[in-house]
């Protein structure tokens, strides 16, 4: 999983870099590459990274246990 994340990150950076370079050379042809790189980063890389980092973690420490807004005990 770690290797796949690195490969996807490199692909995103190459697409964004190539798109930026093409925008400097020609008028507007690199915007597609920048957009595709940003979409891959946002919708593929970030969810995979979050899943990878939180896969075996105990997330119960980050939840409300008493539900103080429903009348339970409030922590001060």
Query: Who's near 33: CB < 8 A, 6+ residues apart?
Result: 15, 16, 18, 19, 22
Long-range pairs of 50-58 with CB within 8 A, sequence gap ≥ 24? 52/1, 52/2, 52/5
pLDDT reading at 71 higher than 70: no
pTM: 0.73
Q: Is residue 36 part of a domain?
A: yes
15-70 pLDDT, tens digit each: 999 999 999 877 778 999 999 999 999 999 999 999 998 888 887 777 766 666 66
State how many domains the chain has: 1
- Intra-chain end-to-end CA distance of the chain, in Å: 41
Is 67 part of a structural domain of the chain? no
Task: Flag whether 29 is in a domain.
Answer: yes
Q: What is the pLDDT of residue 69?
A: 66
Whether residue 30 contacts residue 15, with contact meaning beta carbons closer than 8 Å, is answered with: no
Domain boundaries, position 11: 2-53
User: Does 30 map to a domain?
Assistant: yes
In the prediction, which pLDDT does 67 show?
65
pLDDT (tens digit, 9 = 90+) per residue, 2-11? Answer: 999 999 999 9
């Amino acid at each position: 999983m770690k290797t796949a994340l690195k490969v996807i990150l490199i692909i995103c950076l190459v697409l964004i870099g190539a798109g930026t370079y093409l925008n400097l050379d020609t008028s507007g042809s690199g915007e597609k590459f920048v957009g595709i790189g940003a979409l891959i980063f946002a919708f593929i890389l970030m969810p995979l990274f979050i899943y990878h980092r939180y896969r075996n973690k105990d997330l119960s420490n980050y939840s409300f246990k008493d539900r103080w807004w429903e009348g339970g005990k409030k922590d001060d």
